[in-house]
Structure 1
Amino acid sequence: MNLRRGILLLVILGIFSTLFAEEGMSVRSVTLVTKVFPDVERVFAVVIEYPVEIDGQKLSPNQFVVRAKSGDTYSPRTITKVYANNTGEVSFSVFRNRGKYVILELDPWDPNAGTFIYGSPNVRAKLDYIVSQLVPILDVDGKEVEPFVSKQTGERHLIIDDFLAFTFKDAEKNIEIAYRLFVPKDVDANKKYPLVVFLHGGGERGTDNYIQLASNRGAVVWAEPRHQQVHPCFVLAPQCPPNSFWSLDTIRVVVNLIKKLKKEYNIDEKRIYVTGLFMGGAGTWTAIMEFPELFAAAIPICGGGDVNKVERIKDIPIWVFHAEDDPVVPVASSRILVKKLAEIGGKVRYTEYEKGFVLRYLKQLGWRTDNPGLEDWVPHSSWQPTYDNQEVIEWLFSQSK
């Protein structure tokens, strides 16, 4: 019965949409806005552009409906706030609550808010949203703006859209990789800036050159305005080719790419950092063990490496993270490396999240799922609290060769 009601509602709204379009009363665009949260990219707002300025003080969430397609059905998103402005940004001002853009803020922790389909590898879903204005609303002159129904006309991806997209063909190894590069704003030609290299996990291998930024905050966190304002830096996020991993060969390709970028941009050779998680955590260990002269510091997360090569990285500042109850990569993979480094006087720091910590952390943020089985996998995601930790950010940028 609920399915029938939903279909009937969509049909009725579709008829209304057609009628109003014939009268020339339609919106100009409906844009989904995404942001990378600690666990994954999520749709957290919709921006509707009208041909007239809307009185935001007369708006309320119950005037709109936002539905996201999941499988064969559309299910509702929770609208938490509605307002208007003339910038189209997801930013509310009580003093300027009017404009041609109406912003619908959504609960980012809705079960259908994510943009990923998890698998091997993970893929980004093709987003399919229906946005409806159910009743007339008022413009700033008090005139009614008629209802509409529309699918999204575009997407905007906060921070991700600030990364440039390239591919790099390594002549030495005959390997091509896609990569994203963030270039800090207002670069001073007379200054040099740090470079942060992020190595993604196993689920993000491919050639789409997007998913390595959207799967977690490992790359985008360094490019966020609040961090760029204090620590302007370049950010490199290569994407490991399909059916490959961060082996010595692919890490060598990344190193050759870094060398290329050093020639093209004013990168500070004394402040090149590397961090990664899961497969990228292991890749981080490989990178510093095989090319210790290149990196000023490293943050490997839930990874592992060759304990026989720790002597090579004795002088590199390393902050290691792992969860005690990681169900994918045994915590012993980090413990053994940390122990050996400590024994030889290495510059190692270790944070091990106690059993249950990562799950509690996510739930405190608002994470929820209708699939209880997913909770069993959460402890693997020790990168989520790590990249949210301001002390970690400050520690990395304080390191220099």
Structure 2
Amino acid sequence: MEKKAIITVVLAVFFGLVQAQNNFVNPEHVESVTAISRVLGDGRKVATVILEYDVPISNKSLTTDSYRVEGKEVTRIYANTVPERAEVGVNGRYVIIEVKVEVDLNAQPKQPTEADMEKKKERDRMQGGPGLRAGWSTGGDDEYPGNAVVVQTRNIKTVQGKIYKASETPIESTVEKCLVADDFKQEEFVSPYTGQVLPYNIYIPEDYNPEEKYPLVLFIHDAGVASGPVTQTLYQGNGATSWAEPEAQARHKCIVVAPEYPFITVDDNWNYSHHLDATIALLKDLQTRYSIDSTRIYTSGQSMGCMSSIVMMLKEPDLFAGALLVAGKWNPELMGPLDKQNIWIISCEGDHSSNTLQGQAVELWRNQGNTVSEATWDMTLPVEQLSEEANKMRAEGNHLLFTHLTGGNHRATWFVSYGIEGVQDWLFEQHK
């Protein structure tokens, strides 16, 4: 082959390779991928994915099928000059992908693997038999991921007209943010009784002023995330974050405390662990460090957290001004003294154990001469309508309330209960 021909072939191969490279997404075009999640009743879910590009992207070149987000339903895609949502897209370096987020009333926790079951068998063998018991660890295996994987499915254009080709190459998020949950600080408290460490999350209002007095809301998680990372109680549902949402803080500015328990705090045999004494000590310690209104300390919890709240109310009847008890229970024969407290119980009709035992406690209170407000709500109603139903119960003026949610199941109770304005308003009306 002549020298000229060889050069021609080499150049053709070179330019062919360059052209081939231009047919694929160059990872260097994407400088970062941020997954922004929200916490709903059934846990943390990614709501927005933001791709930062090296140059401005043409908003007109984007459609709702320009990208797909693995496991998510895309609702809007547009460009912006800043890394945040907008009503209208504009040319900019950021591509905003909005995805559908909603509560799944039938959501179930992660199913255990064979390895998980083997671990459970060994734990049972070491600790005397199967079943949840106070002082045990459940492993904290529930997952509420905040990451995202994006695939560019159609060509897009830069403002200068350059085409960034579609590709099946997945682009993984490089940054994770969780709205409201990220506003909590993580701290540790050493139990004065055992010396063991109790990790907890605390939200302090952004404009906290030590010259003012703030109510405090304590939230206690269920057994499903016991022994998980300290932030797991913030991600498993909105029992903690609902009080710190901007709208909630605008109505009722407060401090929020959410421990992450390393073990089961209570069990179905009415046993409880020393961690509840440590929690009471934590609340008393916080009152020495923050400007807390001691007449407006509230407790709430779901399942194990509800039961834990009941135990602490029995142990320290003058500590809490009010309680929101969700999807829990206690031995109704022991709940008689609680009739002097301000309590709102919420259970699902499909949660037979909670609904029945809490109903027996309510009957006990009535037999002791108390009037209890009781109602049934359709749990599928929009939150605004549930708030209206709550306000009807509030208007009755009773300090003991019992709400049944139609159908549902144990977990679905807390998927719905938190974030209802009427319920929150009632709680903050309570004083010691």
Partners of 1:317 and 1:243 in 2: CA distance: 26
For residues 5-44 of structure 1, the aligned pairs below 5 Å read 20-21=25-26, 25-44=28-47
2:93 matched residue in structure 1: 100
Asked whether the 8 Å contact 2:265–2:304 carries over to 1, the reply is: no
Pair 1:262 & 2:283 matched: no
Equivalent of 2:428, from 392, 397, 401?
397
SS of alignment partner, residue 298 of structure 2: strand
Asked whether the 8 Å contact 1:182–1:223 carries over to 2, the reply is: yes
Asked whether the 8 Å contact 1:316–1:347 carries over to 2, the reply is: no
What is the root-mean-square deviation in Å for CA atoms of aligned residues? Answer: 3.2
Identity across the alignment (%): 27
Asked whether the 8 Å contact 1:324–1:352 carries over to 2, the reply is: no
Asked whether the 8 Å contact 1:304–1:337 carries over to 2, the reply is: no
Partners of 1:196 and 1:17 in 2: CA distance: 56
How far apart are residue 125 of structure 1 and its match?
Answer: 5.9
Structure 1 unaligned runs (5+)?
A: 1-14, 69-76, 363-375
Partners of 2:21 and 2:36 in 1: CA distance: 26
Partners of 2:22 and 2:146 in 1: CA distance: 21
Asked whether the 8 Å contact 2:327–2:410 carries over to 1, the reply is: no
> Cα–Cα, structure 1 residues 310 and 65, in superposed 2: closer, same or farther, change >3 Å?
closer
> Cα–Cα, structure 1 residues 174 and 17, in superposed 2: closer, same or farther, change >3 Å?
farther
The CA deviation string for residues 150-180 of structure 1, in whole angstroms up to 9 with x for no partner, is 2221211111111111122202133322211
How far apart are residue 78 of structure 1 and its match?
Answer: 1.8
Equivalent of 1:229, from 229, 250, 254?
250
Partners of 1:17 and 1:165 in 2: CA distance: 46
1:79 matched residue in structure 2: 74
SS of alignment partner, residue 31 of structure 1: strand
Asked whether the 8 Å contact 2:190–2:197 carries over to 1, the reply is: yes
How far apart are residue 204 of structure 1 and its match?
Answer: 1.4
Partners of 1:127 and 1:336 in 2: CA distance: 41
The CA deviation string for residues 64-114 of structure 1, in whole angstroms up to 9 with x for no partner, is 12224xxxxxxxx3211112223322x2222x6333221111122599xx9
> Cα–Cα, structure 1 residues 158 and 126, in superposed 2: closer, same or farther, change >3 Å?
closer
Pair 1:124 & 2:143 matched: yes
What TM-score results when the alignment is normalised by the length of structure 1? Answer: 0.79
Structure 2 unaligned runs (5+)?
A: 1-19, 113-137, 383-406
The CA deviation string for residues 234-276 of structure 1, in whole angstroms up to 9 with x for no partner, is 1111112135537252211111111111111111111100011
Equivalent of 2:83, from 84, 88, 106?
88
1:272 matched residue in structure 2: 297
SS of alignment partner, residue 172 of structure 1: coil
> Cα–Cα, structure 1 residues 199 and 62, in superposed 2: closer, same or farther, change >3 Å?
same
Amino acid at match of 1:33: I
2:222 matched residue in structure 1: 201
SS of alignment partner, residue 287 of structure 2: helix
Partners of 1:98 and 1:116 in 2: CA distance: 41
2:313 matched residue in structure 1: 288
How far apart are residue 381 of structure 1 and its match?
Answer: 2.1
For residues 315-334 of structure 1, the aligned pairs below 5 Å read 315-327=340-352, 329-334=353-358
The CA deviation string for residues 293-323 of structure 1, in whole angstroms up to 9 with x for no partner, is 1100001112122434445333321111112
User: Looking at CA atoms only, which structure, 1 or 2, has the larger radius of gyration?
Assistant: 2
2:52 matched residue in structure 1: 49
Structure 1 or 2: larger strand share?
1
Asked whether the 8 Å contact 1:67–1:129 carries over to 2, the reply is: yes
How far apart are residue 59 of structure 1 and its match?
Answer: 1.6
Partners of 2:381 and 2:141 in 1: CA distance: 23
Asked whether the 8 Å contact 1:307–1:336 carries over to 2, the reply is: yes
